[in-house]
Structure 1
Amino acid sequence: MSLALYTCLFWLCTSGLWTAQAVTDEDSSSHRDLAPTNVDFAFNLYKRLVALNSDKNTLISPVSISMALAMLSLSTRDSTQFLENLGFNLTKMAEAEIHQGFQYLNSLLQQSDTGLEIHMGNAMFLLQNLKLKDSFLADTKHYYESEALTIPSKDWSKASQQINDHVKNKTQGKIELVVSDLDSSATLILVNYIFLKGIWKLPFSPENTREEDFYVNETSTVKVPMMVQSGNIGYFRDSVIPCQMIQMNYVGNGTAFFILPDQGQMDTVIAALNRDTIDRWGKLMTPRQMNLYIPKFSMSDTYDLKDVLADVGIKDLFTNQSDFAGTTKDTPLTLTVLHKAMLQLDEGNVLPVADNGNPVHLPSESLTIKYNRSFLFLAFDKYTWSSLMMGKVMNPV
């Protein structure tokens, strides 16, 4: 199954964390060889963005960014080198198969009934004097459902509004703001966006959500709506990396890790995030009766990926020397890549109305975990092994 090439975390299946239900096609094993490299790329990108926003919330979608960058490879003369910088091994998978796999993956994530509400995509906004080649436009439309829209080159306020309106429409109103004051020297602006919300398999009752303190740092505290749950939940306390964590499943194929570093150990935990760490956590996660407190929040941010992609080896993409021979008809192309991610974390309630009024019973003998200070959030789609979201929550308000 060619989708496994891009979806980052096949090794979690072998750890027992996820069932290997997607591995059914005869040719699937040939694509698993590439998955570890893609995981490394995802964590590398995430760590660099966190470093650039050390005291702020950070939220990205690795699978969404991978799709956007793979799409851009259609525009470059040296697409082989470009794809290799993303971690793909072209001795094992042809370029056409890469794009076909992303096409299939995008369809699975957005159209299958998984209990996850996902709106994701790419849109290219062109200055009026830029003309893209028909072959490039056809390929990006066919494989990635991406559109190319013209924006005014002088009126940046109008251009910003056009970008925001387009993404708002494509996400059914979930993402309303991508740019506020666009002012770019680029002739092409690629906007990559994703919205994620899920229904919990073990839902929180809204009646039990209460206002509590969240400790942003040693001197700052904010009030947050805190969701409360009592149940049997996957748990692991790491004796090697200073943190503890839970695993919460969504209805369908989604699953999420909430990682709570020990006080003052956030940087240490982030530095330790890699394939081996996640694999070990998956093997050691065990069900535990607990009283769980998680803040209810909505988090989003927009990133210009220029600097962070240059740090991971993709430099020429953003220079005037970039070779976009497969893209433009005449005008030289300069590029900006914006990534907009939005996560909505709420009760995910599917309980009958009659049950909602029952207050949660919190057994005193159960383990109590409160996510009332900075923590990490990782969300995956188990069927495709996609890394949907990676977040650092410093302040949920």
Structure 2
Amino acid sequence: MKFSLCLCLLLIGLQVHCHHVPGHSDEQEGNGEEHPLEHQHHPLAGQEIEPSSYKKIVDSNAKFLFRLYKHISSDSATQNIFFSPLCISTCFAMLTLGAKDETHHQIFHGLGFNLSDIQENEIHAGFNRIVCTLNQPNNVTQMTLGNALFIEESSKPLPKFLNDVKTLYEAETFSTSFKNSKAAEYEINDYVKNKTNGKISHAVNNLDPHTVMVLLNYIFFKASWKNPFNHELTREADFFVDANTTVKVHMMSREGYYDFFHDDDLLCWVVRLPYNGDFSAWFILPDKGKLKEVEDALVVGLLNKWRTSLKHKKIELRIPKFSISGSYDVKALLQREGVNDVFNDNADLSGITGQRNLKVSKAIHKAVLDVHEGGTEAAAVTVVDITFSALLPPPPILEFNKPFLMFITNKATRHFVFMAKVHNPTA
């Protein structure tokens, strides 16, 4: 069975400022035991927030997406890009539960939140709503968004911090011996491999034995198209990477009714492909030579503009099959957004252990995307769109045969979950 598959992972490593944690030693009493979580109900967990507050969260996360994309694109203008802004923002929002003062302010500001405009508890309640909504077991789409903390067994995190990450972000916690770095790497990699169905099997390597904590966020997304492509219609075709480069791709083709239009402001075609369930893929095809202009014009509110402009008409849609991946140093990306203190000795993460002795040593994001013809058998759905009159002219063709953008969105949370730039489907 063919499907669309997206996998994302963000890993944050915390280390002490020096080579030991003050007041702790290998012989400390209780070493090797897991620290129990407080299982009381958190006042923000599952909390309903005002529509206006949630809109601020949606807008801030969209703003963060576009800023992050432009940083990544400036470093890799001629490369494929794939990442999950939601994965990154969720993990760092979780980290703010342990951040204080300027460190706390910088992280929220870097994520696009103005704490004079929205309260911190509203932000956490918003992320809690996203996590709970996406993890509904009865969702048609296989979607799992999860968080985990691997904590050095000699460390003593504050019960409040453990309770908050558990109740607000549904984070699992594990006691780990980072002094045995190889064993810790195996434990984390095995966890990630299981959570992503084996698609990301190597999340970490060369862990520093002085690591105190690893925070990670993962997203597993597997969905079938509401209107699948017929694999028998897939043909080899040219894809024009640039003026000097043409590659052969497996071009999927389907004739049917789609929501699409030409954005005359951004100079691009926009087509929405629904998945079974609450997700949609948006494919953006810039006019010839207009990719950079489209990238520069990406703004908050774009999705609402597109939704109101779509026309439901019959076309022949051609999109290449592709598999792309991305790996990004989030530390470097966030430093461009003014998030500095959390990565150096000025870090104040005293909300985690009660002491100002922690900093983020690395923040790595990995993502994998596979797009194929279909999903479950859906011949009846396909037949609905077939025209029975030979007298009608053929529908117009919209062919994605040059670099394009792709978003995957969730209707219930109104969020961009993934973003991609397909510069070369064969790379």
Q: Distance in 1 between matches of 2:396 and 2:208?
A: 51
Distance 1:57-1:235 versus aligned 2 partners, 3 A rule: same
Distance 1:27-1:332 versus aligned 2 partners, 3 A rule: closer
Equivalent residue number for residue 3 of structure 1: none
Between 1:151-160 and 1:269-278, the stretch displaced more is: 151-160
Equivalent residue number for residue 385 of structure 1: 414
1:194 shift after superposition: 1.9
Equivalent residue number for residue 66 of structure 1: 89
Read off the aligned partner of 1:228 and give its amino acid letter: S
Q: Distance in 2 between matches of 1:240 and 1:254?
A: 26
Q: TM-score, normalised by structure 2?
A: 0.77
Higher relative contact order (CA 8 A, sep 6+): 2
Q: Distance in 1 between matches of 2:408 and 2:237?
A: 25
Equivalent residue number for residue 75 of structure 1: 98
Equivalent residue number for residue 69 of structure 2: 46
Unmatched runs of 5 consecutive residues or more in structure 1: 1-24
Q: Distance in 2 between matches of 1:188 and 1:212?
A: 48
| Equivalent position to 2:365, from 332, 339, 346 | 339
Please tell me whether the aligned partners of residues 246 and 259 of structure 1 are also in contact (alpha carbons under 8 angstroms): yes
Secondary structure at the aligned position of 1:216 is classed as strand
Distance 1:164-1:395 versus aligned 2 partners, 3 A rule: farther
Please tell me whether the aligned partners of residues 196 and 344 of structure 1 are also in contact (alpha carbons under 8 angstroms): no
1:342 shift after superposition: 2.7
| Equivalent position to 1:32, from 43, 46, 55 | 55
Distance 1:51-1:114 versus aligned 2 partners, 3 A rule: farther
Q: Distance in 2 between matches of 1:81 and 1:216?
A: 39
Equivalent residue number for residue 17 of structure 1: none
Distance 1:232-1:90 versus aligned 2 partners, 3 A rule: same
Cα distance per residue 1:306-327 (max 9 Å; x no partner): 0111112222111121001111
Please tell me whether the aligned partners of residues 232 and 287 of structure 1 are also in contact (alpha carbons under 8 angstroms): yes
Q: Distance in 1 between matches of 2:175 and 2:329?
A: 20
Distance 1:147-1:34 versus aligned 2 partners, 3 A rule: closer
1:99-110 alignment, distance < 5 Å: 99-110=124-135
Distance 1:27-1:183 versus aligned 2 partners, 3 A rule: closer
* 1:146 is aligned to 2:171: yes
Equivalent residue number for residue 283 of structure 2: 258
Distance 1:349-1:34 versus aligned 2 partners, 3 A rule: closer
Read off the aligned partner of 2:66 and give its amino acid letter: F
Unmatched runs of 5 consecutive residues or more in structure 2: 1-47
Between 1:377-386 and 1:94-103, the stretch displaced more is: 94-103
1:167 shift after superposition: 0.8
| Equivalent position to 2:267, from 242, 245, 252 | 242
Q: Distance in 1 between matches of 2:59 and 2:267?
A: 24
Equivalent residue number for residue 192 of structure 1: 217
Equivalent residue number for residue 25 of structure 2: none
Cα distance per residue 1:268-304 (max 9 Å; x no partner): 1111101254443333221231111112233332322
Secondary structure at the aligned position of 2:260 is classed as strand
Q: Distance in 1 between matches of 2:204 and 2:52?
A: 41
Q: Distance in 2 between matches of 1:198 and 1:72?
A: 30
Secondary structure at the aligned position of 1:101 is classed as helix
Larger Rg: 2
Secondary structure at the aligned position of 1:47 is classed as helix
| Equivalent position to 1:135, from 137, 155, 160 | 160
1:296-311 alignment, distance < 5 Å: 296-311=321-336
1:186 shift after superposition: 5.6
Read off the aligned partner of 1:389 and give its amino acid letter: F
Between 1:168-177 and 1:102-111, the stretch displaced more is: 168-177
Please tell me whether the aligned partners of residues 124 and 188 of structure 1 are also in contact (alpha carbons under 8 angstroms): yes
Secondary structure at the aligned position of 1:275 is classed as coil
Secondary structure at the aligned position of 2:307 is classed as helix
Q: Distance in 2 between matches of 1:59 and 1:236?
A: 24
| Equivalent position to 2:144, from 116, 119, 123 | 119
Read off the aligned partner of 1:208 and give its amino acid letter: L
* 1:366 is aligned to 2:392: no
1:78-97 alignment, distance < 5 Å: 78=101, 79=104, 82-90=107-115, 93-97=118-122
Between 1:315-324 and 1:138-147, the stretch displaced more is: 138-147
1:340 shift after superposition: 2.5
Percent sequence identity over matched residues? Answer: 36
Please tell me whether the aligned partners of residues 56 and 118 of structure 2 are also in contact (alpha carbons under 8 angstroms): no
Please tell me whether the aligned partners of residues 236 and 245 of structure 1 are also in contact (alpha carbons under 8 angstroms): yes
Please tell me whether the aligned partners of residues 76 and 327 of structure 1 are also in contact (alpha carbons under 8 angstroms): yes
Read off the aligned partner of 1:107 and give its amino acid letter: C
Read off the aligned partner of 1:54 and give its amino acid letter: A
Aligned residue pair count: 373
How well do the aligned residues superpose, as a CA RMSD in angstroms?
Answer: 3.2
